[in-house]
Amino acid sequence: MSHSQCVTFLQWALPRLRMRWPGFRKVRKQVWKRIVRRLRELGLEDEASYRDYLEVNPSEWSVLDGFCRISISRFYRDRGVFDYLRTEILPVLGISTRRNGRGEVRCWSAGCASGEEAYTLAIIWKLDIGPRLPDVSLRVVATDSDPHMLDRARQARYSMSSLKDLPPDWRAAAFTRSGELYHLKPEYREGIDFVEQDIRTEAPTGVYDFVLCRHLAFTYFEEGLQREVLQRLLRQLAPGGFLVTGKQEQMAVRPAELEECRSRTGVYRKRSVG
C-alpha cells in the first residue's frame, strides 16, 4: 500500500481515537506495519476495506487503538532534562520532604513503557541524591496501558541501544551484563511499582511531588483529550510539585497554576496555594 494511502487512513482514523495526526507523522510507518499485519490476519485487501470493517465491527477500534501505542524509550533520554532534574529538581524535593518530616519523595511516571524512565530516576537517586539525603527515599509509581511493556519493565533487561545515553560509570554501577543484554541490579528496582493504567481514563491514587508525562499526551492526543489528561495530572500533583513533559511538547493551553521552571526542559512547577 502506498504512502498516501497510509496518510489518508491515519488522518481519517486518528481523530476518532482522539489522537492527532501531527504527532504520528514521524512514527506513521511503525503504526502502518501493524495495520498491514492486521489486514492479512483479517483477509482484507486494503485500507478501504479496513475502514468498512471498522464501521461494522466497533470492537475493532480498540485493536486499532493498540496499534497506535508508541513506546520509544531510553535511559536518560533527553540528557539535558535529566541533568536539570538531577542537579536542581530532585535535590529540592528531597530537602523539602525531609523538612516536612516525610521519609520519601513520591513520583508518578505516566506512560512508563518498558521502565527506562522510572529506573533512570532510581539510578539518579541511588547514585547521586541518596548519599546526600540518606534519611529520604524515592518511591515511583510507573503506569502504562500496555501489559506487555510492563512485563518487560519488571524483567529489567535491556539492550545497549536503550542504555547509550546513560553515563558509562552509572551503567557499570547499576547493571550486570549477560551476553547482549544488561540486567538492572535488584537494589535499583526497589521502591518502584509498575501498574497497568491508561492515562486517558485513570490515575494512581495519592498525591505526588513529581509527575512525568513525557512524549505521550502532549504529542499524540488531540486537544480536548490533552486538557482532560492535564487536569488528571494536576489533581495528583502536590502544590509546589513538579510536572515534566517532553522538552519539545507544547500543551494546548497551559493552566495559570503551572509556571515554567526553565525554558526548553518541559519542567513546570505547580504554584502553591496562598
What's the CA gap between 107 and 126, in Å, rounded?
15
Q: Compute the C-alpha angle 119/257/195, nearest 5°.
A: 30
10 CB neighbour count, 10 Å cutoff = 21
Phi, psi of 28, deg, nearest 5: -60, -35
Q: What is the pTM of this model?
A: 0.94
Q: What is the pLDDT of residue 268?
A: 97
Q: What is the pLDDT of residue 273?
A: 67
Q: What is the pLDDT of residue 1?
A: 64
Q: What are the per-10-residue average pLDDT scores of the chain (274 residues)?
A: 85 97 94 95 93 96 96 92 96 95 96 97 97 96 96 97 96 96 97 97 96 96 96 96 94 91 93 74
What's the CA gap between 218 and 201, in Å, rounded?
15
Q: Which pairs from 148-152 meet CB under 8 Å and 24+ separation?
A: 149/71, 149/112, 149/113, 149/114, 150/112, 150/194, 150/195, 150/196, 152/114, 152/115
What's the CA gap between 215 and 245, in Å, rounded?
7
Domains of the chain by start residue, with CATH: 3-67 (no CATH), 79-270 (3.40.50.150)
Phi, psi of 220, deg, nearest 5: -105, -20
Q: What is the pLDDT of residue 187?
A: 96
**3 state DSSP class of 232:** helix
Q: What is the pLDDT of residue 274?
A: 55
Q: What is the pLDDT of residue 31?
A: 95
Q: What is the pLDDT of residue 3?
A: 76
